[in-house]
Structure 1
């Protein structure tokens, strides 16, 4: 079974304006939609689209939390959220006008007792399961939360995927995560340099691998992706043709596709191909990737 963790889920309320956002005035929308967001939730949603069974873990609160939970279940995503007694799950307002503006909510506070409930759920994971830890840690939690989770599961045979940045990523390498997925800019930030060639990206990815990462997947937007696998092989994948409509969730979709592909065939080349197709399918869509879109793009490689 695959499990994802989203500490601070959100309902993204997306509004489209006909022109510019006018301050101190009434702005009327021409289109609206809402999306259930959070990096782990995005991974769960795309895994579900690929018919890959998984469970979304995390924290929800208040009526917005119940709405998010019910909405995900209606989409076929299995959830096992912890319900906080205070606060509400956040709503993020995304304004699509001549320029894009975002107002992100704060989210509820997560206490020590709440974290103990999460740890109890994670203690049930067994050898062969996979766990996805994606995104930043809320300010109400300790910055070493990922480390604590991985230390707790160390030696249990759980494949852990970490999609995070800077110290949050580097500090977990000692626990030998199955997969890490920085993009090329994030990889460069870790080493304080700009990476402009495949050779430079491979060299930095190899350094992270030498510190403990088993597989390093580097996404590069329109330039595709590069994988340095645990067997010492380098895999390079371009991207199919398409118009980019949305960058939100593309990296999460790549993680979902890669993990689904690896669990299907145990083959890293196939995992990278499916991951790249899933990431591109989201980038070429207004929402997250669908199975139909992913399958269509797979035929273009």
Structure 2
């Protein structure tokens, strides 16, 4: 079984306009829509689309849970969320269609109740089995301490399950102490976590040194996401794989990184070769960018063989 955890889900309220937004005056827009969000939820949906055995879990606000629950039911996503008093946060994303710029206003949402978090921990303790895959991903809601992923990781390791984490800064530094099987940062997140100055033109030797730091801190394998430049995979045997990208028209970048991670987890779940696993990772990420929301299986499968993998 695969478990994807989301401790800070969101409702993304998308506003579409072709005019520049001005502060202090009334602005008008053409269209709007809402989608459920959260890195673990996104990954869970991709895994469900790929027909893997997955349960999406985490914490939701009880006052606006219906948007999530209705969508889970509509797409038949197996889920087990725990309800916290208050509202799940809403993030407003204002997309300017003419300038292709996006402005975000991100909400804070509920203050987490300790008893709800304890219920989630008990659920994991009662259900995790050896060789299950657990994804800990994203930020955490208010009231949750920054060692939460480390605490969950201890439990996951005790159960002999496979720990995968996509986080940054203190959350990542703490969980590295438990030696996660895989982490999936980008260069900015690595620099932020290691307190380094970011440079968009890092050379491979510089990147290798940063990855080595992460592995010395506890990461076993690292999948480095580099957007349009593809990705690099560093395993625990000092091998490096260069992963290409799929070709297509960019429609939506939201959830692409989560989809990529889901593709890797799918390959791990199906016990595919590392090359095929990395192809699925890139195909899932690419397919999501070419669709309005999260990629269906058919779109993903069309791209898998297109992805070039090179050992360097």
Pairwise same-fold verdict (TM > 0.5): yes
- Which residue of structure 2 lines up, in the alignment, with residue 277 of structure 1? 283
Structure 1: gaps of 5 or more residues: none
Q: Are 1:229 and 1:268, in contact at CA under 8 Å, matched by a contact in 2?
A: no
1:299 and 2:308 are equivalent in the alignment? no
- Which residue of structure 1 lines up, in the alignment, with residue 268 of structure 2? 262
Structure-to-structure mapping, 1:178-257, within 5 angstroms: 178-191=181-194, 192-193=196-197, 194=199, 196-257=202-263
Equivalent position SS for 1:64: coil
- Which residue of structure 2 lines up, in the alignment, with residue 149 of structure 1? 152
**Structure 1 residue 246: Cα displacement:** 2.6
- Which residue of structure 2 lines up, in the alignment, with residue 113 of structure 1? 115
Equivalent position SS for 2:117: helix
- Which residue of structure 2 lines up, in the alignment, with residue 17 of structure 1? 17
Structure 2 vs 1, CA of residues 184 and 89 (structure 1 numbering), >3 Å: closer, same or farther?
same
Q: Matches of 1:22 and 1:188 in 2, distance apart?
A: 33
Q: Are 1:73 and 1:79, in contact at CA under 8 Å, matched by a contact in 2?
A: no
**Structure 1 residue 106: Cα displacement:** 1.7
**Structure 1 residue 16: Cα displacement:** 0.8
Equivalent position SS for 1:21: coil
- 1:29-55 per-residue CA deviation (whole Å, 9 max, x = no partner) reads 323222110111111011111111211
1:174 and 2:174 are equivalent in the alignment? no
Task: Compare 195-204 and 267-276 and name the one that shifted more.
Answer: 195-204
- 1:227-259 per-residue CA deviation (whole Å, 9 max, x = no partner) reads 112333211111122233332211111110000
Instruction: Find the partner of 2:136 among 133, 136, 140.
Output: 133
Equivalent position SS for 1:15: strand
Q: Matches of 1:21 and 1:151 in 2, distance apart?
A: 47
**Structure 1 residue 200: Cα displacement:** 2.2
Structure 2 vs 1, CA of residues 231 and 155 (structure 1 numbering), >3 Å: closer, same or farther?
farther
Q: Are 1:257 and 1:277, in contact at CA under 8 Å, matched by a contact in 2?
A: yes
Q: Are 2:49 and 2:297, in contact at CA under 8 Å, matched by a contact in 1?
A: yes
Task: Compare 238-247 and 31-40 and name the one that shifted more.
Answer: 238-247
- Which residue of structure 2 lines up, in the alignment, with residue 79 of structure 1? 79
Q: Matches of 1:136 and 1:145 in 2, distance apart?
A: 11
**Structure 1 residue 218: Cα displacement:** 0.4
- Which residue of structure 1 lines up, in the alignment, with residue 56 of structure 2? 56
- 1:137-196 per-residue CA deviation (whole Å, 9 max, x = no partner) reads 223111111111112333321111110112321221121111101112222333414361
**Structure 1 residue 23: Cα displacement:** 4.2
**Structure 1 residue 113: Cα displacement:** 0.8
> Structure 1 length as normaliser, TM-score?
0.93
Task: Compare 133-142 and 254-263 and name the one that shifted more.
Answer: 133-142
Q: Matches of 2:59 and 2:274 in 1, distance apart?
A: 32
**Structure 1 residue 3: Cα displacement:** 0.6
- Which residue of structure 2 lines up, in the alignment, with residue 47 of structure 1? 47
Structure 2 vs 1, CA of residues 105 and 167 (structure 1 numbering), >3 Å: closer, same or farther?
closer
> Structure 2 length as normaliser, TM-score?
0.89
Equivalent position SS for 2:11: strand
Q: Matches of 1:273 and 1:299 in 2, distance apart?
A: 7
Task: Compare 24-33 and 209-218 and name the one that shifted more.
Answer: 24-33
- How many residue pairs get aligned? The number is 300
Q: Matches of 1:253 and 1:213 in 2, distance apart?
A: 21
Q: Matches of 2:301 and 2:254 in 1, distance apart?
A: 20
Structure 2: gaps of 5 or more residues: 308-312
